[in-house]
Amino acid sequence: MSCTRTFADVNPANGTVIAQVAEADESLVDAAVQAARKALRGEWGRLTVRERAARLRKVADGIEARFDCFVTAEVADTGKPIALASRLDVPRAAANFRAFADLISAAGLEAFQTETPDGQSALNYAVRKPLGVVGIIVPWNLPVLLLTWKLAPALACGNTVVVKPSEETPATATLLAEVMQQAGIPDGVYNVVHGFGPNSAGEFLTQHEDVNAVTFTGESQTGGAIMKAVAASLKPVSFELGGKNAAIVFADADFDEAVAGISEAAFLNTGQVCLCTERVYVESPIFDRFVDALAGKSGGLRVGSPMEKTTELGPLISSQHREKVLSYNRLAREEGATVVIGGGVPEFGNSLDRGFYVQPTIYTGLPESARSVKEEIFGPVCHIAPFDTEEEAINKANDTKYGLAASIWTTNLKRGHRVAQQMNVGITWVNCWFLRDLRTPFGGAGRSGIGREGGVHSLNFYSEPNNICIRL
């Protein structure tokens, strides 16, 4: 099988081409789907749950055995700091496989003893069946973390997969194929096709008749396009989409903890995490002090080469994405923002000037109706606004079409609990952000997603119950 077209994989830190990547055409996507279908009928389909879980644990071991290769590949593709890839992305990839190996091993059956009209009984119990071939489409911001977050439960439930990584970050999905083979995952269970979305590998995959389900992480608008593509074949979908996440900081918050927490929530991965905070609401008595402290902390973040161990902020993923972020910076000024820090492009005087860097940026002074307060920017940019009452803060935080995540900062845990319950989002953190337990439901309300993954929610999406009723 050959691909006639290739595309360039670019290092965002300096604009150099890392690799030419083969773009899958429709026939290659079809071959991948057929390989996945065939593998369902082979050794993989006959493994017991215990055996499947053991192989997933070997995949986790295999990722750890090649830890440095994964880190290097992820850093080159994304430009994220090596320290971040080493503490978050690659460890989570291994943890995803272990977590779902444990979860599938412990998963119970739903069972009911049923009384029959003739006074006898029947036993109902539901067994989990794999869905079949699952199409997995993922973005570029946390490539191996987000891929394995879907891949591990899909495999744990006995499915086979065809994965379409982002065109911006093809490396770690490819590297994972070698780990899969070494871990004894049979051929055809894990298939990777590279390419773009519309009229390319992504669309060919979602439209394929033999793909049984599609799980997708990416922009809300892309979710809409995929929904149309799967409508005719009624495939189940799981969507993890965009966000315009709010943080609410009450005057009684632990001030330093809140400043550090919001700085991380706004700027981690150069603001390219779906959970990042782009709107901060701070209670009026501490507003000015908070803005100054956040500006001081965030303005001091070390922006530089991703390969430097001390770097805290790398570049954005591409020049196109940088142009989008800078266009929001221009828009925010037109809309009346006061620029507290940043707003432009840093200068290094070396090869990093060819990278796609922007400065961490904080605004104040925008009306809630401003487009830059309403639309997802997905860069190191946040807007801070004051509030006077709890009700006002809740209303402002909820005034969005998105509904992914929120964070609340207060030492009054009664209030934290009360406000958290009123957030129209899938995930609310109190006095923390992006603190994960892989057993918990993860996903978004509104335009931030459809369905939940995590723990039993993932097992429920990636499998189908077959209820068996035995008359006793």
* Residue selected from 242, 342, 379, 451 as contacting ligand NAD according to rule CB under 6 A: 242
Could you tell me which of 404, 457, 427, 438 has the C-alpha nearest to residue 145?
438
Position 444 contacts ligand NAD (CB under 6 A):
yes
CA gap 217, 230 in Å, rounded: 15
Binding partner of residue 404 among ligand 6OD, ligand NAD, none, CB under 5 to 8 Å per kind? ligand NAD
Binding partner of residue 451 among ligand NAD, ligand 6OD, none, CB under 5 to 8 Å per kind? none
C-alpha R_g of the chain: 23
Stretch that binds ligand NAD, among 13-21, 184-192, 241-249, 324-332 (CB under 6 A): 241-249
Host H or E run for residue 83? helix 82-84
> What is the crossing angle of helices 143-156 and 90-106, to 10°?
20
Sheet (strand 463-471) strand order: 110-115, 121-130, 463-471
* Residue selected from 125, 196, 255, 434 as contacting ligand NAD according to rule CB under 6 A: 196
Whose structure tokens read 């799981």? 238
Q: Specify the pairing of strand 463-471 against strand 121-130.
A: antiparallel
Minimal distance, residue 201 CB to ligand NAD, in Å = 8
Minimal distance, residue 141 CB to ligand 6OD, in Å = 5
Stretch that binds ligand NAD, among 107-115, 213-221, 294-302, 414-422 (CB under 6 A): 213-221
Toward ligand NAD, which CB reaches closer, 229 or 313? 229
Q: Specify the pairing of strand 237-240 against strand 449-450.
A: antiparallel
Toward ligand NAD, which CB reaches closer, 118 or 437? 437
| Catalytic residue flag (residue 274) | yes
Binding partner of residue 218 among ligand NAD, ligand 6OD, none, CB under 5 to 8 Å per kind? ligand NAD
Which amino acid does the sequence have at 225?
A: A
Stretch that binds ligand NAD, among 111-119, 137-145, 293-301, 361-369 (CB under 6 A): 137-145
Q: Which residue is nearest to ligand 6OD (CB)?
A: 274
DSSP string covering 311-370: --B---S-HHHHHHHHHHHHHHHHTT-EEEE--S----SSGGGGS-----EEEE---TT-
Host H or E run for residue 472? none
User: Is the CB of residue 472 less than 8 Å from the CB of residue 122?
Assistant: yes
Binding partner of residue 423 among ligand NAD, ligand 6OD, none, CB under 5 to 8 Å per kind? none
Whose structure tokens read 């006898």? 120
Toward ligand 6OD, which CB reaches closer, 265 or 366? 265
Q: 3-class SS at 460?
A: helix
Q: How many CB atoms lie within 10 A of CB 390?
A: 16
Q: List Cβ neighbours of 222 (8 Å cut-off, separation of 6 or more).
A: 197, 216
| Catalytic residue flag (residue 469) | no
Position 442 contacts ligand 6OD (CB under 6 A):
yes
* Residue selected from 21, 90, 137, 185 as contacting ligand NAD according to rule CB under 6 A: 137
Q: List Cβ neighbours of 411 (8 Å cut-off, separation of 6 or more).
A: 252, 253, 254
Per-residue mark of binding to ligand 6OD, 149-188 (x: CB under 6 A): x---------------------------------------
CA gap 268, 244 in Å, rounded: 15
Stretch that binds ligand NAD, among 179-187, 193-201, 244-252, 259-267 (CB under 6 A): 193-201
Stretch that binds ligand 6OD, among 273-281, 288-296, 327-335, 358-366 (CB under 6 A): 273-281
Toward ligand 6OD, which CB reaches closer, 97 or 290? 97
Position 274 contacts ligand NAD (CB under 6 A):
yes
CA gap 132, 207 in Å, rounded: 15
Footprint (CB under 6 A) of ligand NAD, residues 413-432: none
Binding partner of residue 149 among ligand NAD, ligand 6OD, none, CB under 5 to 8 Å per kind? ligand 6OD
The residues binding ligand NAD (CB under 6 A) are 137-141, 146, 164, 166-167, 196-198, 202-203, 206, 217-219, 222, 225-226, 240-243, 274, 376, 378, 404, 444, 448-449
The residues binding ligand 6OD (CB under 6 A) are 141-142, 146, 149, 273-275, 436, 442
Q: Which residues are catalytic?
A: 240, 274
